[in-house]
Amino acid sequence: MNSRGTAVTIREVAQAASVSPATVSRALNGPSAVRPDVRDRVLKAVAELGYRPNGRARSLRTRATMVLGVLVSDIMNPFFTAVVRSVEDTAQEAGYSVILANTDEDLQKEARYLEVAAAEQVAGVVLSPASTSQTRVDVLTERGIPVVTFDRRLRTAEVDSVTIDNVQAAREATLHLVAQGCRRIGFIAGLATTTTGEDRLAGYRAALTRSGRPVDERLIARGNYRREGGYAAARQLLHAGRAPDGLFVSNNLMTLGALDALAEAGLRVPEDIAVVGFDDATWALGQRSQLTVVSQPTYELGQQATNLLLRRVGREELPVQRIVLRATLTVRASSRRLAS
């Protein structure tokens, strides 16, 4: 801080080092041609005055930032925070910083943060959209800011995405329950406004159909991707007609809620009801957890999304990418009813 109580500018550094602002800029920024002794003088002045370049001014001029934005739909969900960490790691390797915002599955909030990202001119945005059709990324794309969605896709915009094959993953999980001898398999679906909500449901239906089972709509409940939602949905299923003997829950937090409901109802897992969840929940249940889950490759998800984004940021021309990663079914005791 100088005597004026304001930030030190490049001109003050220039003056202190008896050079022009342009030279200071050159000394600081590239490996450009500045005489060593001049450079040293500049660096010394920078250090003494505590000069820090004003990022806004710089990127106003250069039309570039080294900051990526990440917009997640629920920051309290460890699946998303895990992806965020991997985005961060990957971005950092490329010299980018990451700022994060939480949209909370709320279209208004999401819209606001998309605007913020546009106004702040981030280099690119990684996004788990709150809605398949109502999320508007054009605010960004119109300004030439690339967007990559992860976990979920947009149907309304032609943007890159990195997801798993949700239909296939849900089908595999459901077929597993069928194979374990479950006769009435319940399903707790996610928000209908998201591709994960729809695709996982489609996979569940497909598996039943393929197994020659009818789809009983009373065995399908919707949740809001939160724990309470899973709890409420599970209770609904338990009290609707004959209780299920198998349950597939399509997201991590809802799985915990469903387990709460099962425990409350005095049901044993897997004896009374076999359970398959989504996403590893070691953060909640511990390493010794015996929950069968569809495991998503969170680290790879974030990594691929970021790398893809960075290619776009680098103005690389390539067709719209839809990267689909493999999810794997991790079978543990919660779903094991037959020796296999």
Partner DNA sequence: CTGAAAGCGCTAACAT
Partner DNA sequence: ATGTTAGCGCTTTCAG
Q: Tell me which residues touch DNA (CB under 7 A).
A: 6-7, 9-11, 18-26, 28-29, 33-35, 38-39, 51-54, 57-58, 60-63
> Rounded to an integer, what distance in angstroms lies between the CA atom of residue 234 and that of residue 52?
55
Would you say 118 or 327 has its CB closer to its own copies? Answer: 118
Query: What number of chain residues touch its own copies (CB under 8 A)?
Result: 57
Q: Supply the DSSP symbol for 72.
A: E
Contact string 61-100 vs its own copies (x = CB under 8 A): ------x-x-----xx-x--xx-xx--x---x----xxxx
At 139, list the tokens.
Answer: 């605010």
Would you say 60 or 192 has its CB closer to DNA? Answer: 60
Closest contact distance (angstroms) between CB of 247 and DNA is 53
Would you say 116 or 323 has its CB closer to its own copies? Answer: 116
Work out what residue 144 binds among DNA, its own copies, none; the CB cut-off runs from 5 to 8 Å by kind: its own copies
Would you say 24 or 169 has its CB closer to DNA? Answer: 24
Q: Is 111 in the site for its own copies (CB under 8 A)?
A: no
Q: Is 106 in the site for its own copies (CB under 8 A)?
A: no
Q: Is 322 in the site for its own copies (CB under 8 A)?
A: no
Q: Are 162 and 301 in contact (CB under 8 A)?
A: yes
List 188's β-bridge partners, or say none.
221, 249
DSSP alpha helices (H): ranges in the chain?
10-16, 21-28, 36-49, 55-62, 78-93, 107-119, 138-141, 166-179, 195-210, 227-239, 252-264, 282-285, 298-313
> Rounded to an integer, what distance in angstroms lies between the CA atom of residue 293 and that of residue 296?
9
Q: Among 28-36, 57-65, 211-219, 236-244, which window interacts with its own copies (CB under 8 A)?
A: 57-65
Would you say 219 or 256 has its CB closer to its own copies? Answer: 256
- Distances in whole angstroms, Cα of residue 329 to Cα of each of 170, 173, 336: 9, 7, 13
Q: Are 14 and 61 in contact (CB under 8 A)?
A: no
Q: Is 283 in the site for its own copies (CB under 8 A)?
A: yes
